[in-house]
């Protein structure tokens, strides 16, 4: 049996949540960890509790003894939520984390009624490691040095072998086939200069979702939630207030 370890980091709200306020659950992308959600979490926790999932093999967590599928990562998120007693959360996934959130919603209907996908991967027109690496580098020109430093250190900790194995899973995941199955209100947002999630691809994601809407955050790159946390938080908070 594969040994899988995931973790939920929780930040309590700085103020007492008002009526109808729900918790936020953040899911990071490939190679990274919950660390790059800290600026966004600091904004969101003004109105509600914030939880960040550490996916197996990333951040401080040990690597499983086999590569996990995207569906299995969705199951991991669901298991973590159930174990922590978190219900009616707003799920927020960034990059590959957006794919994980979609799988969580599809495989576990009713786990959440709202979600946000930030810079979703993978644009099928450029679903190769070379193309994705190039787009990430281009987008990185619009990300801050601080964001780049966090991501680079997390990549180094994840290691090339595990990153490469999960990259193949990310590239092969049939997101377009899964999006029409999502039974939730979903916001799809991108930074203005995010070349990993270009406008045409984000528009396609919105189109395929039964109840999707799009948004663009001015000035941001792929790490828009790190560099433009206030703008991203404002959009995500609207989901929690619906």
Q: Does pLDDT of 227 surpass 60?
A: yes
Model confidence pLDDT, tens digit, residues 162-215: 899 999 999 999 999 999 999 999 999 999 999 999 999 999 999 999 999 999
Distance CA 228, CA 111 (A): 28
The yes/no answer on whether domain 7-241 falls in CATH 3.40.50.1820 is: yes
3-state SS, residue 61: coil
- Portion of the chain with pLDDT greater than 90, in percent: 74
Q: Across the chain, what does the average pLDDT equal?
A: 91
Model confidence pLDDT, tens digit, residues 72-83: 999 999 999 999
**Looking at residues 122-148, what average pLDDT do you find?**
91
Model confidence pLDDT, tens digit, residues 31-87: 999 999 999 999 999 888 999 999 988 888 878 888 899 999 999 999 999 999 998
* CA dihedral of 107, 109, 111, 114, whole degrees rounded to 10: 110
In this prediction, residue 18 carries a pLDDT of 57
pTM: 0.93
In this prediction, residue 66 carries a pLDDT of 86
Q: Does pLDDT of 13 surpass 70?
A: no
Distance CA 26, CA 171 (A): 21
């Amino acid at each position: 049996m594969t040994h899988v370890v995931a973790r939920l980091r929780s930040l309590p709200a700085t103020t007492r949540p008002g009526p109808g306020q729900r918790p936020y659950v953040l899911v990071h992308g490939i190679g990274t960890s919950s660390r790059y959600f800290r600026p966004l979490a600091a904004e969101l926790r003004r109105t509600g509790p914030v939880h960040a999932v550490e996916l197996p093999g990333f951040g401080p967590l040990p690597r499983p003894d086999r590569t996990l599928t995207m569906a299995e990562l969705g199951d991991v998120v669901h298991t973590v939520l159930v174990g922590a007693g978190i219900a009616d959360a707003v799920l927020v996934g960034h990059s590959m984390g957006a794919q994980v959130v979609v799988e969580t919603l599809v495989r576990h209907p009713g786990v959440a009624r709202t979600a946000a996908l930030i810079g979703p991967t993978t644009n099928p027109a450029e679903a190769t490691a070379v193309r994705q690496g190039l787009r990430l580098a281009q987008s990185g020109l619009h990300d801050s040095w601080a964001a780049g430093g966090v991501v680079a250190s997390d990549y180094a900790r994840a290691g090339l072998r595990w990153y490469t194995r999960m990259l193949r899973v990310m590239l092969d995941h049939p997101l377009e086939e899964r999006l029409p199955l999502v039974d939730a209100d979903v916001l799809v947002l991108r930074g203005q200069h995010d070349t990993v999630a270009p406008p045409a691809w984000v528009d396609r994601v919105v189109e395929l979702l039964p109840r999707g809407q799009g948004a663009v955050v001015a000035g941001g790159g792929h790490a828009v939630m790190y560099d433009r946390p206030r703008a991203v938080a404002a959009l995500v908070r609207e989901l929690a207030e619906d």
